[in-house]
């Protein structure tokens, strides 16, 4: 990781007074119920080998992506800890409040940040993602992390912001414990600012074909990482 870059964007975030890197629970009783269910699952299954962390796009592996998840990941014992609408600060809070306590998984797959775009600057979001990685490393020192790029969402401004964000978080890989996979271009159409409509059902969330694309792109590195000692 690039220390000078981290220091610079941390300074930007602190001066701006924003919260993507400050742990905070999500809103509402349903969110807390989901969190508590993950804590209970962790306590009941201390040998969880792989965890998926993220927002609705990760959460909905259990919905639109269920056929693909059941084909590739359920047989491996993957725990899906995605929660719809989560931002970086919510994932950070969850990690620090029992969801990984006592675990020693081989791999955590992390894809987060799109829901911060409306309320935080790109450097602030990048700090939030880095803070999650650092928290995971502190809680799970033997676990490898596969950091995925933020996927495109409709809108030219969104495309531009996400490309900038992905260029920042790519620098977090060290290829020892943190690995990065950029999938952005594989989900776009030929028109800048427009996603591939075959892979999304609303310009943001993936269709079953989108989850299949995700799996096809991720599986080579994913399988390599879970087989490493």
- pLDDT, tens digit, for every residue of 129-141? 999 999 999 999 9
Please write the tens of the pLDDT for every residue from 54-94: 999 999 999 999 999 999 999 999 999 999 999 999 999 99
Strands (E), the chain: 50-54, 78-82, 107-111, 144-148, 178-181
Q: What is the pLDDT of residue 15?
A: 41
The answer on pLDDT for 7 being more than 70 is no
Q: Is 183 helix (H, G, I), strand (E, B) or coil?
A: coil
Q: Are 44 and 102 in contact (CB under 8 A)?
A: no
The answer on pLDDT for 18 being more than 90 is no
Q: What is the pLDDT of residue 209?
A: 99
Q: How far apart are CA 73 and CA 50, in angstroms?
A: 9
Please write the tens of the pLDDT for every residue from 25-39: 999 999 999 999 999
**Residue 184: strand pairing partners:** none
Here the tokens at position 92 are 């950070």
The answer on pLDDT for 48 being more than 80 is yes
Rg for the chain (alpha carbons), in Å?
16
Q: Are 31 and 55 in contact (CB under 8 A)?
A: no
The answer on pLDDT for 47 being more than 50 is yes
Q: What is the pLDDT of residue 17?
A: 43
Q: What is the pLDDT of residue 12?
A: 46
Domains, the chain, with CATH or none = 3-227 (3.40.50.1110)
Nearest one of 175, 181, 112 to 144, comparing CA atoms: 175
Please write the tens of the pLDDT for every residue from 163-216: 999 999 999 999 999 999 999 999 999 999 999 999 999 999 999 999 999 999
Please write the tens of the pLDDT for every residue from 103-121: 999 999 999 999 999 999 9
Q: What is the pLDDT of residue 141?
A: 99
Q: Predicted confidence band at 40 (pLDDT cuts at 50, 70, 90)?
A: very high
Q: What is the pLDDT of residue 229?
A: 76
Q: Is 225 helix (H, G, I), strand (E, B) or coil?
A: helix
């Amino acid at each position: 990781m690039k220390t000078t870059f981290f220091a610079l964007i941390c300074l930007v975030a602190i001066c701006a007074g924003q919260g993507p890197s400050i742990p905070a629970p999500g809103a509402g009783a349903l969110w807390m119920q989901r969190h508590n269910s993950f804590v209970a699952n962790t306590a009941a299954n201390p040998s969880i080998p792989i965890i998926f962390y993220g927002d609705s796009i990760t959460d909905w592996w259990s919905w639109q992506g269920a056929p693909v998840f059941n084909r590739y990941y359920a047989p491996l014992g993957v725990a899906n800890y995605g929660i719809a609408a989560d931002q970086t600060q919510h994932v950070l809070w969850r990690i620090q409040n029992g969801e990984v306590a006592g675990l020693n998984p081989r791999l955590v797959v992390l894809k987060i940040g799109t829901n911060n775009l409306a309320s935080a600057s790109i450097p602030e979001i990048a700090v939030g993602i880095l803070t999650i990685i650092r928290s995971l490393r502190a809680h799970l020192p033997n676990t490898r992390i596969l950091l995925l790029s933020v996927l495109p969402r409709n809108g030219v401004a969104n495309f531009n912001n996400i490309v900038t964000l992905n260029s920042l978080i790519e620098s977090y890989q060290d290829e020892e414990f943190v690995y990065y996979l950029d999938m952005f271009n594989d989900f776009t159409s030929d028109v800048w600012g427009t996603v591939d409509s075959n892979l999304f059902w609303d310009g943001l969330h993936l269709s079953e074909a989108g989850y299949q694309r995700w799996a096809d792109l991720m599986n080579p590195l994913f399988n390599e990482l879970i087989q490493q000692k």
